[in-house]
Structure formats: structure tokens, C-alpha cells
Amino acid sequence: MKEQLENIKVHAVQDLENACSMQELENIRIKYMGKKGELTSVLRGMGALSAEERPIIGQLANEIRSFIEEKIESSKQVILSKEKQEKLQKEVIDITMPGKKHELGKKHPLSIVLDEIKDIFIGMGFEIAEGPEVELDYYNFEALNIPKNHPARDTQDTFYINDNIVLRTQTSPVQIRSMENSKPPIRIISPGRVYRSDAVDATHSPVFHQVEGLVIDKNVTMGDLKGTLEVFAKRLYGDDTKVRFRPHHFPFTEPSAEMDVSCFVCGGSGCRVCKGEGWIEILGSGMVHPKVLKNCGIDPEEYSGFAFGMGLERIVMKRFGIDDLRLFFENDMRFLKQF
């Protein structure tokens, strides 16, 4: 039996020398010291030994068990540190590799022109106001004197969230919110996204941008409207620019007018940009309707005001000679880099 034990020791040492993973170590432990292990079965057989032999063999068996346990433990340390070393080597980062370059962006043409428009109005004492894009039907239509069944609703194909909530079809609801939230004098412009259920083509998109304007004070007249918008046109297109107002109709203004500017390409003689007209339409405007003032708790006998609204995309397209509105929303750097 002594010989058997010595053999076990020799074999265990050999096995351990060849082991190179934690799994192999565990297999060795089971092979010798598991429930059915070689050493375990020797210990089980000790009952058959004589009284003199038993303590001697018992002591030897215990020594060998501790010996194997220690060997396993030290092999474990060796394997762990080897594995760690391999992992570190595999995960080495080559800090001399060139980095991935991010392409630098450019200011979007819509932002370029919008910033100019903002600067012009801020220079005239206006503030920038904002309103929600998901808007109550009341603010988008009702309070602006566009009741349900009004034909103006048909021309602005609306995305309805439910009966009372829409995606705003215009920036005009910000007028109402401004008048509700502050007392006159009010001088604001409100740029932002608007939505209409239009099919996409070269001149239509379900999302586009408008800039709204509103002035409310005592004794504001149509003369103030014309003077303010003429200054705006000259600042945006140059001092030679002429403006003309054509009568129009909007439910929230009375009287209402559309404003054209003399073509900034041909100066009025007619060209491709103005389609031979000499004039380019850039905005709608008018004196705020007394009903709209009343809806906002402002007394039309005491106060008056004017409002205007323009579509940003159209203005930017004319400005840069862009013939397809879809280019604004495609984020193609080859397009954006040109401005």
C-alpha cells in the first residue's frame, strides 16, 4: 500500500507539471482527491490494515494529500499569472496608430440666413420667442380666428394628434402665447419648425421652417409695418432693394398684405430666379385682427399691432440658388460645404 501511495504521488506530480489551465487543475484534483479519486480510495481501504500498519500508512497518506494540495495551489498561482500576462499582451493598445478623424461640420444654410434674420430684428429691438411644435388646436387655429370648418384649415394640411392637439402648421400660435404671457409693448420674432401633411417634392416637405413676427403697442399703424419690413428687406438683400405690398387675406390680420422684394439677382429686370417677374414674394403680413387681440385679453381700442410670417426655406433657396428643398434635410456634406 505504501508503494501504491508513492506511485500516486509521482503520477500526481507529473500530471501537475503538464497542466496548463485552471480546468486541467480541477480535473487533477478530482482524479486524486475527488469522491472516487485514487487517493480517496486508498484511504477507504485502510480498514483492512493491521493495527501497527494503519497509523503509518495513515500518516503517509495525509502527507501525500497535503503535498498534492500544495502543488495544486502553487500550480494555480503560476497558471493565473500566465493567463493574466497573456490577456495583457492581447489587449495592448498601440498608441502610435493614427486616430479616426471626424469630419468637421459646417453651419447649415438655413441657420446662416436665420441668424442674419435674427440679428436684423434684434437690432430693431425685437426679442426671440419660442413655442411648442406639438400645439393645441386652440393656439394653432381657434385663437387666430380660424374656427373649425374655416377654409384656411384646408390649405394647411394638418397632422392631428387628436381632436385638440396638432403639429403646428405655422409659427403664428407663438403670437397668441406671447400676448397671453406678457403685456404690451410686445416685439418678438419666433423662428421654428412647422409641419404640414404634404408629399415630398422639390418645393414641399412635411417639415419646414417659418419666422413669425409680432409687434403690439399703442398707436401701431400700417406705416410701422411697412417701415419695419422695408428696413428688414434692405438689411437682408442690400440697400437698393425695393419692396411692394399686395393686398391679401389672412384670418388673423386685417388688413393683410403680402410683401415682395425687388429681385436681388437682376434688380427687377427679370431673370431665372424671379421667373421673369422682377419681384420675389417673401412674406405675409397685416394688422393684428381685433378679434385676435380680444382672444388674448388685449383691448383693441387701446392697443394695435402688426404681424408677419415668412417661410425660411424659400428665402434661403432664392438666396443661394438652390433648386431642390430636399437638399436641406439630407445632411450631405458635399452640399453643406458650399455655403
User: Which residues contact ligand DAH (rule: CB under 6 A)?
Assistant: 170, 172, 212, 250, 253, 284-286, 307-309
CB of residue 258 to ligand DAH, shortest distance in Å:
8
CB of residue 283 to ligand DAH, shortest distance in Å:
7
* Closest CB to ligand DAH among residues 19, 179: 179
- Give the residue closest to ligand DAH by C-beta: 309
* Closest CB to ligand DAH among residues 75, 170: 170
The x, y and z cell numbers of residue 27, run together, are 480535473
* Closest CB to ligand DAH among residues 109, 173: 173
* Closest CB to ligand DAH among residues 265, 296: 296
* Closest CB to ligand DAH among residues 37, 251: 251
CB of residue 250 to ligand DAH, shortest distance in Å:
4
Distance of CA 38 to the CA centre of its chain: 67
CB of residue 159 to ligand DAH, shortest distance in Å:
15
CB of residue 127 to ligand DAH, shortest distance in Å:
16
* Closest CB to ligand DAH among residues 37, 309: 309
Q: How far is CA 53 from CA 7, 42, 50, in A?
A: 18, 14, 5
Burial 156-194 (b: 16+ CB within 10 A, else e): bebeeeeeeebbbbbbbbbbbbbbeeeebebbbbbbbeb
CB of residue 235 to ligand DAH, shortest distance in Å:
19
CB of residue 164 to ligand DAH, shortest distance in Å:
20
CB of residue 93 to ligand DAH, shortest distance in Å:
56
CB of residue 103 to ligand DAH, shortest distance in Å:
36
Query: In this structure, is the dihedral angle defined by the CA atoms of residues 239, 241, 242 and 247, taken in order, positive or negative?
Result: negative
* Closest CB to ligand DAH among residues 145, 262: 145
* Closest CB to ligand DAH among residues 75, 175: 175
* Closest CB to ligand DAH among residues 140, 241: 140
